[in-house]
Amino acid sequence: MDYGLKGRSALVTGGSHGIGLATARQLAAEGCNVAICSRSAARLKSATTELEAYGVRTLAVAADLLEGNAADQVMDTVEREWGEIQILVNNVGGGGRWGKEIVEETELRVWSDVYEKNAMAAVRFTHRTLPLMRRAKWGRVVTITSIFGGNEGAGRPWFTMAKAAETALMKSLSRMPYLVRDGITFNSVAPGGIYIPSTGFDDERDRDPKGFARMIDLEYPLGRLGTPEEVAAVVAFLCSTHAGLVNGANITVDGGQSRGL
């Protein structure tokens, strides 16, 4: 199936690693030009080298989205270089392992940082890209949330709260006729546990290999974690021209991990 993305321009925040990079790859494979932003210049370089192999235009902007007006700086660069963005994937986020088990022992700073990195980053990029999408009379905004911000509801409260805010952001925007009638859709993709090398799951497994295997067996009906590519495949479809009627959805991609209906 042709996703109708050839020649369009996408921004994937946190697109240099994990789910973001897998998404950037799938969009580039569809002929979409892809801009990415994240902190490490080395990761950005290796990601863009890989993406360029698809013959698309790429743009990498180094920025720490927990600092000052970094999102605006990213958008200033993208607008200056490309002047357009029709697809925004609000992927940057995380903080599900930040803080402590004991809520009162967790500094308030953790709550605000996690909210900033997830929900406010999505707000800032969406706010800046909407005028560009309206001008193009077409747009796709997909936000990577989590089952913990949706039908699972568990997880550390600052993370669950921030992810639920992202889901609410997409849903409320999807109900605004003036945006949707300009051809823009807003959806969330809620992954369950996704294995990404050199992130928290490796630490958990190394600390207690048997306990980790037991947890996977109990919590994951498939008997394994998901892959970034399995999430990216859903995101790429939502970005496609075939997904015009999918608006305001929160799509769980968790292999059956979450218990909610």
Binding site for ligand NAP (CB under 6 A): 14, 16-20, 38-40, 43, 63-66, 91-94, 117, 144, 146, 191, 193-194, 196, 199, 228
Give start and end residues of each alpha helix (H) in the chain: 18-29, 41-52, 70-81, 108-115, 121-136, 157-174, 177-180, 200-207, 209-219, 228-239
d(CA 32, CA 84): 12
Which helix (H) or strand (E) segment holds residue 218: the answer is helix 209-219
Shortest Å, Cβ 238 to ligand NAP: 15
Shortest Å, Cβ 74 to ligand NAP: 9
Nearest Cα neighbor of 92 from 15, 28, 202, 150 is 15
Phi, psi of 8 (to 5 degrees): -80, 170
Q: Are 123 and 72 in contact (CB under 8 A)?
A: no
Shortest Å, Cβ 209 to ligand NAP: 19
DSSP classification of residue 102: S
Residue 138 or 195: the one with the smaller Cβ distance to ligand NAP is: 195
Residue 33 or 145: the one with the smaller Cβ distance to ligand NAP is: 145
Residue 18 or 255: the one with the smaller Cβ distance to ligand NAP is: 18
Residue 99 or 193: the one with the smaller Cβ distance to ligand NAP is: 193
Which helix (H) or strand (E) segment holds residue 177: the answer is helix 177-180
Shortest Å, Cβ 152 to ligand NAP: 10
Shortest Å, Cβ 137 to ligand NAP: 29
Shortest Å, Cβ 178 to ligand NAP: 28
Residue 33 or 91: the one with the smaller Cβ distance to ligand NAP is: 91
Residue 143 or 174: the one with the smaller Cβ distance to ligand NAP is: 143
Spatial strand order in the sheet of 58-62: 58-62, 33-38, 9-13, 87-90, 139-144, 184-191, 250-253
